[in-house]
Each structure stands twice: as C-alpha cells, then as structure tokens.
Amino acid sequence: MDTAPIRTKRDHQRALKEIGGLMAAKRNTLEGDRLDVLATLVEAWEAKHYPLDLPELDSAIRPD
C-alpha cells in the first residue's frame, strides 16, 4: 500500500476519487484498510484547510 501525505489540492482530489472507488470495500481487507487510511488523511487535510467556525456552546443555545 503506497500512501503519501496529502499536500496539495490535487493530492486531495486524487484521494477523494480513490475513496469513492473504495466505498464498497469490506473491513479487514487491504482495500478496507486503504479506505481507512485515506479517509483519515483527507479528514486531517480538510480540518487544516477548511476549518469550521463553530459557535460557542452558550451562544449557540441562547435566543437573541
């Protein structure tokens, strides 16, 4: 399994495309393991490059 870090938008797109092809992979197989690794890499890359600005808990539940 050759897996490299996701460093660019192009790497990100390639990983997403590969993930799409692996969605039917069974757990505890080489394909399933590759899916897990790629999903983890994509998650980390997206968290860094597309962070979510979540509201503070008290402002999220208080009416205006």
The proportion of the chain whose per-residue pLDDT surpasses 90, expressed as a percent, equals 73
Which pLDDT value is given to residue 59?
Answer: 67
Angle (CA) 42 1 36, round 5°: 35
User: Could you state, in order of their start, the residue ranges of all structural domains in the chain?
Assistant: 9-61
- pTM, 2 dp: 0.78
Tell me the pLDDT tens digit for each residue of 20-41: 999 999 999 999 999 999 999 9
Number of Cβ atoms within 10 Å of the Cβ of 43: 11
Helix (H, G, I), strand (E, B) or coil at 12: helix
User: Cβ distance 41 to 8 under 8 Å?
Assistant: no
- Report the run of H or E that residue 19 belongs to, with start and end: helix 9-22
